[in-house]
Amino acid sequence: MVYESRSADAVLPLTQLGEEDKLFQATIRKFAREQIGPHVRAMDEAGVFRKDLIQQMFELGLMGIEIPEEYGGQGGSFFQSVLAVEELAVVDPSAAVIVDVQNTLVNNAMMRWTNEEQRRRYLPRLASDTVASYALSEAGSGSDAFALTTRAEDKGDHFLLNGRKLWITNAAEAGLFLLFATVNPEAGYRGITCFLVERGFAGFGVGKKEDKLGIRASSTCELTLDNCRIPRENVVGEVGKGYKIAIETLNEGRIAIGAQMTGLAQGALNHALGYAKERKQFGKAIADFQGVQFELAEMATQVEASRLLVYNAARLRQSGLPFLTEAAMAKYFASQVAENTASRAVEIFGGVGFTKDYPVEKLYRDAKIGRIYEGTSNMQRMTIAKQLLGMR
């Protein structure tokens, strides 16, 4: 058996979709399996995502799904962004997170919070050739997202930014960064301001690339700002109101992380099903043993439950209805399902599942980040509990 197992076609999602979304999903599925699939292992080992595949994602419209057609985008829906992230993650969660950050974080924030001049300047680039990155985290600012220390000094027609950002996804490839800094540390979250930072701005640098456990082809880097001059027209929204942009964007981004983890779990299940039919012990396929059948049944049930939570949250958001609790539930549950399903898949493969020659080992490593980034599992539980108890 080769690394890209034949089991990739073993199971399709059970959840029903409309015809337009079905066609969209099928297109992404075909692209992921035929174009990305053959390179997954090499990209994971090198820790680099191929530039030609990123270009293909632009050409397919995957980097500007919700961007209106007048700005060069696809004019699609938030739900389609979620579908794309899920389908890519079935094959490679690293590809999924690149598309996720571009669409559900940066493009989403750009369309909601920027002015018309900013949209006309940047959205066509984001839809055609410019990878974007979302820069919030710092060494002392993780779950406590607004404990950041990167300083923005108001100089009238521009701001001078100084500080460091850590664990920034897409940073190695990005040409545009949605970056958060404080104009007044003493004001707490009320000092947070959002800026559009271009890679070529003087004083801005992309530093060390992290050597990670999983999603290795997705770049995660340090950013440095040394008297980085940002024109005042690159402020997103109002000075001191960046916290609102960050909170609302991350609430929506959690749905897409739920989709990424659901796709990962589906990929692990697909591989486990295919292998169980092929692997023979005691004169018959291991899929004929009830113990294996029960494992597969539980895995499939959890994956479908995860998918339903994610789709429900996505549809609520798309309909303009409250979705905070549902987004937290989707992200929390999907990350658990991904880790559990990938672990069980490794066990179904047995000894070979513990080697890098088969894809479930990688999916197991990739799954761990789901419980950490864009809000840890504890943060999701806290959000859910507060909403249930009517606490703020």
**pLDDT computed for residue 2 by the predictor:** 37
Tokens of 215: 């999603």
pLDDT at 10: 45
pLDDT band at 17 (very low <50, low <70, confident <90, very high): confident
Closest CA to 170 of 247, 94, 107, 225: 94
- Among the candidates 115, 131, 147, a domain finishes at 131
Do 67 and 193 belong together in one domain?
Answer: no
Using the structure block, give the residue that is written with the tokens 């301001």.
193
- In single-letter form, the type of residue at position 37 comes to G
Stated length of the chain: 392
Task: Give yes or no for residue 9 having a pLDDT over 90.
Answer: no
| Residue 164 and residue 121 share a domain | no
Which residue out of 138, 222, 304, 374 is catalytically annotated? 374
Angstrom distance (rounded) from CA 113 to CA 129: 22
Helix or strand or coil: residue 60? coil
Distance between CA atoms of residues 256 and 278, nearest Å:
33
pLDDT band at 143 (very low <50, low <70, confident <90, very high): confident
Q: What is the pLDDT of residues 344-373, one digit of tens each?
A: 999 999 999 999 999 999 999 999 999 999
Q: What is the CATH number of the domain that holds 303?
A: 1.20.140.10
Q: Do 166 and 151 reside in the same domain of the chain?
A: yes
Q: What is the CATH number of the domain that holds 118?
A: 1.10.540.10
Question: Is residue 7 in some structural domain?
Answer: no
Do residues 223 and 304 both lie within one domain? Answer: no
Q: Is residue 209 part of a domain?
A: yes
Within this chain, do residues 333 and 210 fall inside the same structural domain, yes or no?
no
- Same domain assignment for residues 293 and 349: yes
Inside any domain, residue 1: no
The two tokens of residue 286 are: 């291991």
234/332 same-domain check: no
Q: Identify whether residues 251 and 353 lie together within a single domain.
A: yes
* One domain, residues 380 and 251: yes
DSSP line for 225-287: EEEEEEEGGGEESSTT-HHHHHHHHHHHHHHHHHHHHHHHHHHHHHHHHHHHHH-EETTEEGG
Does residue 287 sit in the same domain as residue 343? yes
- Mean pLDDT for the chain overall: 95
> SS3 of 223, please?
strand
**Residue 58, pLDDT above cutoff 70:** yes
Residue 342 and residue 277 share a domain: yes
Q: Flag whether 40 is in a domain.
A: yes
For residue 290, which amino acid is it?
Q
Per-residue pLDDT band for 14 (boundaries 50, 70, 90) equals low
Establish whether 374 is a catalytic residue: yes
The strand pair at 132-135 and 176-182 is best described as: parallel
Indicate which CATH number applies to the domain containing 223: 2.40.110.10
Query: Does residue 11 surpass a pLDDT of 60?
Result: no
Tell me which of 241, 260, 288 is where a domain ends. Answer: 241
The number of folded domains in the chain is 3
Q: Model confidence over 213-241: pLDDT tens digits?
A: 999 999 999 999 999 999 999 999 999 99
Does 2 fall in a domain?
Answer: no
pLDDT at 7: 43
Domain membership flag for residue 34: yes
259 and 352 both lie in a single domain: yes
Domain boundary residue, one of 68, 101, 131: 131
Q: Which domain holds residue 380?
A: 244-389
Q: pLDDT tens for residues 241-282?
A: 999 999 999 999 999 999 999 999 999 999 999 999 999 999
pLDDT at 3: 41
Percent of the chain with pLDDT over 70: 96
pLDDT for res 146: 78
Tell me the whole-structure pTM to 2 decimals.
0.94
Q: Would you state the structure tokens that stand for residue 23, as one six-digit string?
A: 């066609």
Residue 236 lies inside a defined structural domain of this protein: yes
Pairing type for strands 176-182 and 158-169 reads unpaired
Residue 9 forms part of a structural domain: no
Q: Would you say 37 and 89 are in contact if contact means Cβ atoms under 8 Å apart? A: no
- Provide, rounded to the nearest whole percent, the portion of the chain with pLDDT above 90: 92
Instruction: Please report which confidence band the pLDDT of residue 23 belongs to, taking 50, 70 and 90 as the band edges.
Output: very high
